[in-house]
Structure 1
Amino acid sequence: MIKKITYCLLLFLLPSFTLLAQTATITGSVKTADGKPADLVSITIKGTNKATLTDENGHYQIKRVTPGSHRLVASFIGLEKREQTIETRSGETLVVNFILKENSTQLQEVVISTKKSNKVNSIVAKMPLKNLENPQVYNTVSSEIIKQQGITSYDDALRNVPGIAKTWGSTGRGGDGGAYFAIRGFQGQATLVNGLSGLTSGDLDLANVEEIQVIKGPSGTLFGGAFLSYGGMINTITKKPYFTTGGEITYNVGSFGLNRVTADVNTPLSKTEKVALRVNAAYTDQNSFQNAGFQKSFFVAPSLIYEVNDKLSFHFLTEIMQEERAVAPIFFPSDRMSPLPFKTVKDLNLNYNESFISNDLTMKNPRFNLQAQMLYKISSQWTSQTVFSRTTVKSNGYYSYIYEDAVPTDQYFGQTLHKDQQTTSTTDVQQNFNGDFKIGNMRNRLLIGLDYYSRNAINNGSGYAMVRRVTPQSGEVAYPVPHTTDTIPPVYLSQALVDNILATKPGNRNNTTNSAYSAYVSDVINFTPALAGMASLRVDHYVSQGLKGDPTANYNQTFLSPKFGLVYQPVMDKVSIFANYMNAFINVDPRSVADSLGNNPGTQSFKPEHANQWEVGVKTNLLSDKLNITVSYYDIRVSDRVYTDPHNINGYLQGGTVGSKGLELDMNANPAPGLNLLAGYSHNSIKVLKGNAGDFYNEPGRTPGGQGPPDLANLWATYKFTRGDLKNFGFGVGGNYASEQKSIDSSVTGIFYLPSYLLINSSLFYSADNYRITLNLNNITNKQYYIGNYSIIPQAQRNFALSFAYKF
């Protein structure tokens, strides 16, 4: 019986064996002119349905090719095709390689969107994973998008990411002086560089940016609790050296006196060893769109790579920035205790062009960032990554805000100033081991990591002083003192005036240090090629030394942070369905407390706040990477928030809760050669679920503040002519929509609304092999619009930027 079955099987399989024996295999690689692998290049056999894409190493393979003569075609969207005539023979493997005449930089410019949407990313999950394999959502903004849109401000680049909105610009103040963004309803800042600490108290420069990543959701499991938002994280990927000579010099000129020069120069340093140096530098000088304010900065970022051999390499990066600005104050329309006389921007009648500042009052924010990395390939299955990061930022200058401080209905606001003298330094050391191996038939991609993070802040700033009173219409006004016949004459801000007033105020003198010792593990298990699960856990031990010389402020605690994910690909490498559970935490510093009468003072410690998110969604990579869509729904709940005790104004309770839910859509499409589309939409609903009814920041049923507009949409479409008389010419058009938002939401003060807005931007460019000219016109309709977090901050109206770039 067994012999009969075996005989039948052989008869059944014999045609298949015969067919395989009569076919051939074609394999090979595709590289650019500068020797780099070209991934996502389409390889087809003309006249057949045989086709494939190159992988991230530029390799491809086509099996079961009939013997004979064929035309093999290598093509990439918007580029000239490369063809080779080949002859295949039965049973043989034919190697066919292609060299694209475009180098890697030019290849990147062809598709302006994040064309490599399913490329391997090693930072988001701290292990090499393709987008479709990762149960977490992340969005990217490429350097080419930044160039095409003529963007010179880091903050503006994030307008291409769905679900994120700027809530106020950089103030320069110590500790948190960088720009703030609302991500999934929660406040966040750009504090990561290549996945490591990269603090700033001022602005960030785009000169060394290869890509900006917005990693969505609470990500404390892999990144800790020192510098993240519950809604997500902003991570900057820097430019890396390569082993040929090349570069680019660009000059930007534009509205508000913009003058900006950038240089990107790369060169190999050895003919016998793989050592390369890349230096990016920028100088910027620009005024404000208002009647005072300016920015001057110089930035330089040398980076070095040394590939000792196939197993060992070293990477070094240094970023140095000097920046001086006159920063417009934050305008707060409420004292947070009294009913608002103004409910809308129209009621407030804020002078759009009034800066309320003097160019004599400046803020300096020097910044230094060093990163060193050693990569070692232990075996074919294990790699080691050892990284060190050191960042120092300073705030040296004047910080100002405008606040209702006296009579809430009298149309006068107090302007308070403070002179910052703060230095913040962070140190981050990590050791990561990545494994890729099988246990039985299940593939495991395992991460094991150790992390030491330390932050030191030295503050020698002045006290705070109310220097003058202003109206929403003017900074220099006479102020009639309430209940008297006195009038204070108009005050013009000057450095001497402010210094004299601040000299009478007691200053701040403190030195604090916090550290975190962490270990984490994460494993992605492929149960089948299409079904994978992720399980991750972090153990975080936090140590706060508080103020030096005050042992009562010292405390420490240990916390666990888990993460789980599931991915199923019903169509491999094209469609994935994912779900995740993610956690984040922030350690809460001790606070001074007393009884309701102010007696029995002491210090109270708290558990960490923590956020938990669950999310489901779909990712696609269709039509040979021409259509990429991510759709997801999330639910985030932050608990253990600290709020004022309703029965004791001098005490605190822990247990407040905030809930945030939302939907996000992100699309990148290349429907035709030269045509690229970026589009996104997000809806968010956030409110306090548990807190104190009398607490301005923690009132149940209200928005917590800083959440941004509930509805956001972005669109950018670019077309580049690829042939004919207009070859290399192109144009782009797009914009951003933000719905009406609540800048203030309180039953005591009432609600203050910021209006919705629609911005339209455009671009016209010519991009050849060696040079590029770009003209951008932003906010074409000259729309007046505002952002804010408990505040109202006017943004620039119509403006243009013209750039000239020479590439070599």
Structure 2
Amino acid sequence: MNKIITLLVCLTISTFTYSQTGKITGKITDDGNNALFGVSVSFKNQQKGTQTNEEGVFEITNIENGDYTLLISILGYKSKEVPFSITNSEPVNLNTIIIYEGNEILSEVFIEGTRANKFSRKESAYVSKMPLKNIENSQVYNTVTNQLLVSQSVNSFQDALTNATGVTKLWSSTGRSGDGAGYYSSRGFAVQPQLVNGVAGITNGFINPSNVERVEVIKGPSATLFGSSVTSYGGLINIITKKPYKGTGGEITLAGGSNDFAKINMDVNVSAKEKLSFRLNSGYQKENSFQDAGFKKSYYIAPSVSYKASNNLAFNFSYEASKNEQTNETFLFLNRYGPLAFSSIEDLNYDTNLSFTNNDVVLENNTQNYRGEIAWKITDKWSSQTLIAGGVAKSNGYYTYLWNFADWSNPSAPVGTPYFNLYAQDTDAKTKTLNLQQNFNGIFNLGDFQNKVLVGFDYLDSKTIDQSSNWGYLNTINLQGDLLAGAPTSAENLETALNRIGNVDSDVRQNVFGAYVSDIINILPSLSVMASVRYDRFNYKGDQNTDEDDDTEYTESTFSPKFGIVYQPILNKVSIFTNYQNGFSYVNPQYITDFTTGETYLQSYDVEQANQFEFGVKTKLFNNKLETTLSYYNINVANKYYWATKTQDLEVNSQGIELEVNANPINRLNLHGGFSYNDSEITNSPSATYLEGNRYGESGPEITYNFWADYKFLKNFGVGAGFNGATEYDTMVDYKAATGSFYLPAYTILNASVYYETNKFRVSVKGNNLTDEEFYSGWSTVTPQNKRVILATLNYKF
């Protein structure tokens, strides 16, 4: 009987205790009344919390009576604190809570696990420099997400960019000062990765993807918001690094594979209460070439800190230092001035196992980038972002390249035999940059029309000091590796060859001041119009590599407009857009020699101008499970400078279509794909009529495509597979009037992976170029690309 009474008392107490708890519910949307999925809703200073469902709704139960504060946060939106109280165990409904897009302080790690379409990430604080979702943005951009990088076991930046629609590699990173980053083609024009976290950054040498959260490729001339220094007429590449987040945890990554590939990476994040978060990302990576010689090594460390002084004020700082060592990849420069006796890889008869280098012929790149940010929410509708960023890059060591001499350069050579001379430079150069930027974002109404406004200015100062040696000759070889003249390639022989040949001794400084304003007017909920303009002032002072005693100074200024219209026939699901975008480029003055009189004079040039007209469709359907962008663009440059004639009378037209798809058709299956067609032509060239009708040399192949699928099954197992490829293209198209054509073959590269993944660790095996296809990149050059590679990766999370 006593036991029964005791049990009844316990049940009564339990029932009473349970009855003394309440619950809280609510819905979270953005300022366009769109439900937000995967928003973190947690109790401040407690572990209790949840996330919103696909309707943006959340519910937390078993809350004791008392006063609480909800902390609401998601990447790309400003965090919000909402106080509430539970009294008499009554439920509380907070109804709709609106949060606004803003500065990216949190990391994606909290929401990646719940987002169904994992390869989609179209919200960004960088592309338009204002709160603007992709579907309401008249500009096209591609995003390579961290989840896609993990799925593909990406260990190089160029592999990451194979996922960007219409982007192909022209040159690998050379490590040279000034232009040492890789070159890629986008929409028919060469572009380099020169933007880090939305501001100018130094990317000479190897970019380690272990500290990359995602890559944004912003398409078309984008000088109105970003200026001319970090953009091309085809677009720009923005590298987003990993940032601190609220919480404590981390990840250790170990990888190894073909060509003695080895990698170790450590990523640790700690938080002190709610205000201070610190993250440290560091690692080491090395890889040998698939050829008989060659290697790359990279060490880096990247600390970052975020301090939230209040709900309205946050400070962020990030820093990255890296040390890179590498031998030069094989660059076969084809002769630009005489007829080539070969027009294809088969004719060239190149043994691609040969690198024509030595592992003691090393180029070192030490780089540093820093970025400080003050994010201030002035009012609910106005915010300020203040940025200071900069970097230093040093290049030291030997840079070499191989230049083809046509058959006639060696009278005793068998007809059709290509010979190459190796030239080298003892590089000693340093580049330093400083970037200041101030942005104000606001929302206000004029009558019935809502306006989203960006007002900002930026200042970029860069200085390059080059004390490298002049170029020197070392040897002559054929493509079967026979040494025909000169000394074998080695550091010792290069030191002898380059001794006492003099130095470049160049000191160049450039600074750019820009001011810009952008206004997006919502005429209707489904119709918006955007207008932007930029004023830019450029100053150049430096050497022109002439006998002139005085430095050349050059100052020029220009305006750059931008317009766009977006109509959403199905609100927040389908948009039809069109845009006009402008890009520009300053052309430094050149010394011209009049060969009839022998006189030399300084020739100045106008600012190059590129104009793009584009239209297309964007979709975001089935609860974000299908995201597509289809567009047609037409870019025209009417006054392109041509280096060979030193005239500014080329007219280049580049037009094409692009399609990008991110999809989650069924649970656990994620798809990412892209297709691009580009038609580029030099339409007018009075000073070099032989160029007219040619494809522009930077354009790369006409058609490129990429696809990747990732499917997870039996809870923890997964497979991934995909391909990327391009049609053949003429790498000598700029010079074919004198040389004839040389075609790099079409290719399709197949890749696949298998993995096992839990909350704590992931083990994967990846195969790249499974069919061991021989393929090449080039821009008046020929560079063989990696053969079959097998990689194994272990990620441990804590």
Q: Is TM more than 0.5 here? A: yes
Cα distance, 1:655 vs structure 2: 2.2
1:785 maps to which residue? 775
Q: In 2, are the aligned partners of 1:545 and 1:551 still within 8 Å (CA)? A: no
Secondary structure in structure 2 of the residue aligned to 1:769 = coil
Q: Is residue 653 from structure 1 mapped to residue 647 from structure 2 by the alignment?
A: yes
Aligned counterpart in structure 2 of residue 144 of structure 1, from 129, 144, 147: 147
1:265 maps to which residue? 268
2:525 maps to which residue? 529
Secondary structure in structure 2 of the residue aligned to 1:404 = strand
Cα distance, 1:777 vs structure 2: 0.7
1:326 maps to which residue? 327
Superposition pairs of residues 379-458 of structure 1, within 5 angstroms: 379-405=379-405, 407-408=407-408, 409-458=416-465
Q: Cα deviations across residues 641-661 of structure 1 (Å, max 9, x unaligned)?
A: 22368xxxxx63222111100
Q: Is residue 31 from structure 1 mapped to residue 35 from structure 2 by the alignment?
A: no
Cα distance, 1:504 vs structure 2: 3.4
Shift of the 387–59 alpha-carbon distance from structure 1 to 2, 3 Å rule, reads: closer
**In 2, Cα distance between equivalents of 1:665 and 1:340:** 37
Superposition pairs of residues 333-372 of structure 1, within 5 angstroms: 333=334, 335-372=335-372
Secondary structure in structure 1 of the residue aligned to 2:732 = strand
1:239 maps to which residue? 242
**In 1, Cα distance between equivalents of 2:623 and 2:552:** 58
**In 1, Cα distance between equivalents of 2:649 and 2:355:** 40
Q: Cα deviations across residues 572-606 of structure 1 (Å, max 9, x unaligned)?
A: 00000000000111111111112124611121111
**In 1, Cα distance between equivalents of 2:470 and 2:766:** 44
2:209 maps to which residue? 206
Q: Cα deviations across residues 316-363 of structure 1 (Å, max 9, x unaligned)?
A: 000000011111241023x21111111000110111111111111100
Aligned counterpart in structure 1 of residue 538 of structure 2, from 538, 542, 552: 542
**In 1, Cα distance between equivalents of 2:678 and 2:725:** 14
**In 2, Cα distance between equivalents of 1:457 and 1:299:** 23
Q: In 2, are the aligned partners of 1:516 and 1:540 still within 8 Å (CA)? A: yes
**In 2, Cα distance between equivalents of 1:391 and 1:318:** 9
Aligned counterpart in structure 1 of residue 112 of structure 2, from 96, 108, 112: 108
Q: Cα deviations across residues 675-716 of structure 1 (Å, max 9, x unaligned)?
A: 011111000011111225648xx8111122131111011110
Q: In 2, are the aligned partners of 1:328 and 1:356 still within 8 Å (CA)? A: no
Q: CA RMSD in A?
A: 2.6
Q: In 2, are the aligned partners of 1:412 and 1:470 still within 8 Å (CA)? A: yes
Cα distance, 1:451 vs structure 2: 0.9
Q: Is residue 162 from structure 1 mapped to residue 165 from structure 2 by the alignment?
A: yes
**In 2, Cα distance between equivalents of 1:56 and 1:704:** 38
2:277 maps to which residue? 276
Q: Is residue 465 from structure 1 mapped to residue 466 from structure 2 by the alignment?
A: no
**In 1, Cα distance between equivalents of 2:467 and 2:702:** 39
Shift of the 744–241 alpha-carbon distance from structure 1 to 2, 3 Å rule, reads: same
Residue type at the aligned position of 1:325:
Q
Superposition pairs of residues 65-214 of structure 1, within 5 angstroms: 105=109, 107-109=111-113, 114-119=118-123, 121-214=124-217
Cα distance, 1:789 vs structure 2: 0.6
Q: In 1, are the aligned partners of 2:329 and 2:783 still within 8 Å (CA)? A: no
Cα distance, 1:759 vs structure 2: 0.8
Q: Cα deviations across residues 439-484 of structure 1 (Å, max 9, x unaligned)?
A: 111111101111111110000000111211111221x42x2xxxxx
Q: Mark the runs of 5 or more structure 1 residues left unpaired by the alignment.
A: 1-24, 46-53, 61-86, 98-102, 480-487, 646-650
Shift of the 117–263 alpha-carbon distance from structure 1 to 2, 3 Å rule, reads: closer
Shift of the 769–329 alpha-carbon distance from structure 1 to 2, 3 Å rule, reads: same
Q: In 2, are the aligned partners of 1:172 and 1:201 still within 8 Å (CA)? A: yes
Superposition pairs of residues 210-229 of structure 1, within 5 angstroms: 210-229=213-232
2:631 maps to which residue? 632
Shift of the 766–293 alpha-carbon distance from structure 1 to 2, 3 Å rule, reads: same
2:671 maps to which residue? 677
2:658 maps to which residue? 664
**In 2, Cα distance between equivalents of 1:676 and 1:450:** 40
Q: In 1, are the aligned partners of 2:707 and 2:724 still within 8 Å (CA)? A: yes
Q: In 2, are the aligned partners of 1:117 and 1:628 still within 8 Å (CA)? A: no
Q: In 1, are the aligned partners of 2:119 and 2:671 still within 8 Å (CA)? A: no
Residue type at the aligned position of 2:672:
L
Residue type at the aligned position of 1:343:
S
Identity of aligned residues (%): 38
Q: Cα deviations across residues 107-133 of structure 1 (Å, max 9, x unaligned)?
A: 4146585555453x2211111100011
Shift of the 787–652 alpha-carbon distance from structure 1 to 2, 3 Å rule, reads: closer
2:685 maps to which residue? 691
Cα distance, 1:36 vs structure 2: 9.2
**In 2, Cα distance between equivalents of 1:737 and 1:757:** 5
Secondary structure in structure 2 of the residue aligned to 1:413 = strand
Q: In 2, are the aligned partners of 1:448 and 1:520 still within 8 Å (CA)? A: yes
Shift of the 40–216 alpha-carbon distance from structure 1 to 2, 3 Å rule, reads: farther
Q: In 2, are the aligned partners of 1:112 and 1:145 still within 8 Å (CA)? A: no
Q: Cα deviations across residues 693-742 of structure 1 (Å, max 9, x unaligned)?
A: 648xx811112213111101111011012xxxx21111011011211111
Q: TM-score, normalised by structure 2?
A: 0.86
Cα distance, 1:663 vs structure 2: 0.3
1:514 maps to which residue? 510
**In 2, Cα distance between equivalents of 1:37 and 1:436:** 31
Residue type at the aligned position of 1:536:
S
Q: Is residue 41 from structure 1 mapped to residue 54 from structure 2 by the alignment?
A: yes
1:50 maps to which residue? none
Cα distance, 1:207 vs structure 2: 1.7
2:738 maps to which residue? 748
Residue type at the aligned position of 2:716:
N
Cα distance, 1:309 vs structure 2: 0.3
Shift of the 184–729 alpha-carbon distance from structure 1 to 2, 3 Å rule, reads: same
Q: Is residue 701 from structure 1 mapped to residue 693 from structure 2 by the alignment?
A: yes
Return 582-591 or 324-333, whichever deviates more.
324-333
Secondary structure in structure 2 of the residue aligned to 1:170 = coil
Q: Cα deviations across residues 233-286 of structure 1 (Å, max 9, x unaligned)?
A: 110111111121011000011111011001110001x33x50110011110121
Shift of the 332–111 alpha-carbon distance from structure 1 to 2, 3 Å rule, reads: farther
Q: Cα deviations across residues 538-578 of structure 1 (Å, max 9, x unaligned)?
A: 00011112239954511101100110011000100000000
Cα distance, 1:35 vs structure 2: 8.3
Q: Is residue 499 from structure 1 mapped to residue 495 from structure 2 by the alignment?
A: yes
**In 2, Cα distance between equivalents of 1:390 and 1:303:** 15
Q: Cα deviations across residues 293-312 of structure 1 (Å, max 9, x unaligned)?
A: 11111111000000000111
**In 2, Cα distance between equivalents of 1:679 and 1:123:** 23
1:19 maps to which residue? none
Cα distance, 1:31 vs structure 2: 2.1
**In 1, Cα distance between equivalents of 2:112 and 2:182:** 29
Secondary structure in structure 1 of the residue aligned to 2:475 = strand
Q: TM-score, normalised by structure 1?
A: 0.85
